[in-house]
């Protein structure tokens, strides 16, 4: 276990597909860290509001960041340059890439959902859910299927490009989960988190959790998944 320190509270974070990098946000800045060394590699600046979501492209070469400024920005990690900006319908709180990286889905606090052609910068589909009071916290869940033919959201599961709806997608098994106070393995509580380590934001990759706390620290906890179910430590 080791820690990173940022200038401000951690808002969101995500691992790169190969687990070597961690993207995080504090206020309006996106930071990229080397996971093995804990060294800050890049600071990506351009948003005028709090960055609420970050996501890596499937090849790990691009970071998408969504913000309260209603902009989705795409950053080239080789150069650190801003490569593209999409204008959303409100404060963006969800951004996900399709498996091939061609499509992006976004959700906003104003309960608007969009599907984008990232390469063309074009909105392909939009749906506003503002009449549904149970979505008052905005769109909080978006996920493409592994073959990018379906998109799962808070309000249902859809065939891309939305030719027909289906009831649900089977969710991936979640053997390791992180709650407000506990790390769970197979539904069992295995590690209690002291107050200073409780997550403000978190990300998971291949047995390792990155936990961002209110103090500005990020702690890494690696779980030995080869351990016997009754022998967690």
How many domains does the chain divide into?
2
Cα distance between residue 97 and residue 122, in whole Å: 14
**pTM of the complete model beyond 0.75:** no
- Do 130 and 195 lie in one domain? The reply is no
Where is the domain boundary, 137, 160, 183? 160
pLDDT 10s digit of each residue in the chain, 233 long? Answer: 556 665 556 678 999 999 999 999 888 899 999 999 989 999 999 999 999 999 999 999 999 999 999 999 999 999 999 999 999 989 999 999 999 999 999 999 888 888 999 989 999 888 776 544 455 566 777 888 888 888 777 666 677 765 444 333 333 344 566 666 888 776 678 888 887 777 767 777 667 778 877 777 778 888 775 544 444 43
What single string gives the DSSP state of each residue in the chain? -EEEE-SS---EEEE-TTSSEEEEEETTEEEEEETTT--EEEEEE--SS-EEEEEE-TTSSEEEEEETTSEEEEEETTTTEEEEEEE-SS-EEEEEE-TTSSEEEEEETTSEEEEEETTTTEEEEEEE-TT-GGGTT----EEE-TTSSEEEETTEEEETT-SSEES--PPPP-SEEE-SSEEEETTEEEEEPPGGGS-SEEEEETTEEEEE-TTSEEEEEE--TTS-TT---
106 within 8 A of 114, measured Cβ to Cβ: yes
Structure tokens at 174: 């979640």
CATH, residue 63:
2.130.10.10
- Do 134 and 32 lie in one domain? The reply is yes
Considering the domain boundaries, does residue 165 fall inside one? no
- Do 57 and 132 lie in one domain? The reply is yes
Residue-range definition of the domain harbouring residue 185: 172-226
Where is the domain boundary, 160, 191, 209? 160
């Amino acid at each position: 276990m080791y820690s990173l320190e940022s200038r401000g509270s951690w808002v969101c974070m995500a691992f790169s597909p190969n687990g070597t990098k961690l993207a995080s946000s504090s206020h309006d800045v996106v930071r990229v860290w080397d996971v093995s060394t804990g060294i800050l590699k890049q600071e990506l600046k351009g948003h005028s509001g709090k960055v609420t979501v970050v996501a890596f492209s499937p090849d790990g070469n691009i970071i998408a960041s969504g913000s309260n400024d209603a902009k989705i920005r795409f950053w080239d990690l080789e150069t650190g340059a801003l490569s593209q900006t999409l204008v959303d319908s409100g404060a963006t709180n969800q951004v996900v890439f399709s498996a091939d990286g061609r499509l992006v889905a976004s959700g906003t606090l104003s309960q608007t959902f969009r599907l984008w052609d990232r390469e063309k910068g074009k909105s392909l589909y939009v749906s506003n859910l503002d009449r549904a009071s149970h979505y008052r916290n905005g769109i909080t869940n978006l996920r493409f299927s592994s073959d990018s033919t379906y998109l799962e959201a808070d309000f249902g599961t859809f065939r891309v490009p939305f030719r027909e709806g289906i009831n649900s997608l089977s969710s991936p098994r979640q053997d390791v989960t992180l709650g407000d106070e506990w790390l769970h393995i197979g539904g069992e509580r295995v590690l209690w988190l002291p107050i200073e380590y409780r997550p403000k934001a978190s990300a998971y990759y291949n047995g390792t959790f990155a936990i961002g706390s209110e103090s500005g620290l990020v702690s890494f906890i690696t779980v030995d998944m080869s351990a016997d179910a009754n022998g967690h430590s």
